[in-house]
Structure 1
Amino acid sequence: MGKDLPLIVISHGYGGDSLGHRDTAQALADGGFIVVAINHPHANYADMSQANGMGVLVERPADIKRTIDFMLGPSPDAASIGPRRIGFYGFSQGGYTGLVVAGANPDFSKLPPRCADPKVTDCPPADQRRPFQRIQPPRTWTHDPRVKAMVVADPLSTVFLTADSVKDVKIPLQLWGSQLGGGQDAEPENVAKLAHLLPDKPDFRVVPNARHLSFLTPCPSVKSSTKPSCSDAPGFDRTAFHKEFNAEVLAFFREHLMDPRQP
């Protein structure tokens, strides 16, 4: 397989799964990266039993750390991975996950109430919803300095709206936002504010006419176009966008993880 190859860990969003960004994963694998995409326990497409609890948000960064531990330890690919060439890609709550891994400390008090049942699609007004399941935030968050570069798309940003919350995020970061939004707690204005608050200026891109879910892999057929996850704004070509998007993500990771001048 090779030696000292870079590793990218992919984290899905709310209700997503390990296949939600398969075209991006394929582009990275074709480009010489080892790629692993995970399902976050009890908060993925097949199991949403704890998806609306704060516990899942606390555990998400720990899921990434455990994945890296495995890939560098008992994994059969461990001998091929360069331990100083680890990157991360995350979308929506996966973007939140990456920011915490990179050193951010979220403020959960900024999260609005949510529907108690993750299967409910027609939520009552916010003042009639059950509060977001509260637990005491941890004294220390799971950060992982082994991650050296990161791409995040439309991250959950509500919990990172102060400079103090992101002051320790110092790694190279490419941040993507959708112009039209539509993601829970990933409003375009908050993503833009996050870009401004990060201490090291990120490579910030706003995708014209894109909705939040436009970052998911293109749908395979016309019949899928009616699904919410496949619905784009009129005139938006998700397939064409992903071709450009994947090329930019690949170039970013190559610059920061494959450049022989990198330590």
Structure 2
Amino acid sequence: MMHLMFQTLAAAALLGLAGQAGAQATQAQEQGQQAGYRTLTVPGDTPIQVALFYPTAAPARALPMGPWQPVVAPGAPAAQAPLKGLVLISHGTGGSEVGHHNLATRLARDGYLVAALRHPGDNWQDRSMVTSGHYFGERPRQVSRVLDALLASPDWGSRIPAGRIGAVGHSAGGYTVLALAGAQAEPQRAAMHCRTVQDDPMFCSLGKLPTTGPGTKAPVALAAAIAPDAQRVSVPDPRIRAVVALAPMAVVFTSESLAAVSVPVRVIVAERDAVLVGKYHGGHVVTHLPRAQASTASGAGHFAFMAQPSMPLPSDAGDAAANPAGFDRVAYQPQLESDVAEFFEQQWR
């Protein structure tokens, strides 16, 4: 009975967004250039699944993918016009490669190749990397691996314009892209932060997973799982020339390394973020990187920067489908897309 009820609720939610997806498809058709969609697997000890969005002349349609309905042309041939650039997208902890599909399809229609990866060990199916001891270094390295693969790809490598590679990240993805831009993390700062403040409770409880080592039974939180003597993490990728950090997890960054970041940075924080309190995270970046372009999404919660799911998505950080009272995520998304697109346009002029 409960299974049937869930199926009924999910179907209703999908129908509720069907009109929205249909309107997006119609709008995309009217704009001429569409978003194609393919998948890529980057090989290795931990293979990386990647969703590729790119410009195409083929007609797009709403393509159901669980709680998401990206408007894309699956498997379509890429447009022959030169690409404007490459944008890599890093999702938040426990996320998905299609969780930012609205932004990805907008950038693809604008002429970009967009590569959104599913972070191995930190996605909706597997969060084992959170307590691995390698979290802060491995996440950015995974993005660099995807970039390596695309630049070596016979389909895309020669088409990616030199010097026009950007990255967008949300939440833990915001941490990831700032690390790629040159910001350095001292992982123990997370534990120190959570011992000294009382008003960032969601961050300090994130990553609670049952440990699997001998004799361990209690759940471990992200901040507490970091060894006190963990060394500074430095994983810059100089090929990435501009980054957008959306509600970034940033308390772990050193002030001096933020100040030394030289690539253009855009930071957008959510006014009502209960997951990563702005003054400790996005605000920390803006304070120590005054060159960054910064703004606040009025009335928004932490998940405002993800596409609106068609059903509840509960997580340690709350329901990713929920919004603060009075905030319309669907209405906000076009503004977010334009802000990000305009930022990259400014860099590539």
1:203: which partner in 2?
293
Given that residues 186 and 231 in structure 2 are in contact (C-alpha distance below 8 angstroms), is that contact kept between their aligned partners in structure 1? no
Relative distance call for 1:39 and 1:116 in structure 2 (3 A) is closer
Relative distance call for 1:139 and 1:158 in structure 2 (3 A) is closer
**Deviation at residue 214 of structure 1 after TM alignment:** 1.5
> Which residue of 96, 118, 131 corresponds with 2:209?
118
1:115 and 1:61 map into 2 onto residues whose CA distance is 19
**Deviation at residue 163 of structure 1 after TM alignment:** 2.2
> Which residue of 266, 274, 279 corresponds with 1:189?
279
Larger CA Rg, structure 1 vs 2: 2
Given that residues 272 and 301 in structure 2 are in contact (C-alpha distance below 8 angstroms), is that contact kept between their aligned partners in structure 1? yes
Given that residues 186 and 233 in structure 2 are in contact (C-alpha distance below 8 angstroms), is that contact kept between their aligned partners in structure 1? no
1:123: which partner in 2?
none
Any idea what the Cα deviations from partners look like across 1:58-99, whole Å, max 9, x if unmatched? 111111111111111135211211121000000011010111
2:334: which partner in 1?
243
2:258 and 2:206 map into 1 onto residues whose CA distance is 28
TM-score by length of 1: 0.85
Given that residues 3 and 79 in structure 1 are in contact (C-alpha distance below 8 angstroms), is that contact kept between their aligned partners in structure 2? no
2:198: which partner in 1?
none
Moved over 6 A (4+): none
The number of aligned residues is 244
Structure 2 alignment gaps of length 5 or more: 1-79, 192-203, 212-218
Pick 1 or 2: higher relative contact order, CA cutoff 8 A, min separation 6: 1
Is the aligned partner of 1:24 residue 2:103? Answer: yes
SS in 2 for 1:66: helix
1:7: which partner in 2?
86
Matches within 5 A, 1:93-242: 93-112=172-191, 114=205, 117-118=208-209, 131-134=224-227, 137=230, 141-160=234-253, 162-183=254-275, 186-190=276-280, 191-198=282-289, 200-220=290-310, 224=311, 227=314, 228-242=319-333
Relative distance call for 1:133 and 1:196 in structure 2 (3 A) is closer
Percent of aligned positions that are identical? 27
Any idea what the Cα deviations from partners look like across 1:203-259, whole Å, max 9, x if unmatched? 101111111111111123xxx2585111101110001111111011111111113x2
> Which residue of 57, 60, 63 corresponds with 2:142?
63
Structure 1 alignment gaps of length 5 or more: 121-127
Relative distance call for 1:34 and 1:108 in structure 2 (3 A) is same
Given that residues 83 and 112 in structure 2 are in contact (C-alpha distance below 8 angstroms), is that contact kept between their aligned partners in structure 1? no
Given that residues 44 and 51 in structure 1 are in contact (C-alpha distance below 8 angstroms), is that contact kept between their aligned partners in structure 2? no
Worse-matched range after superposition: 63-72 or 9-18: 63-72
SS in 1 for 2:262: coil
SS in 2 for 1:229: coil
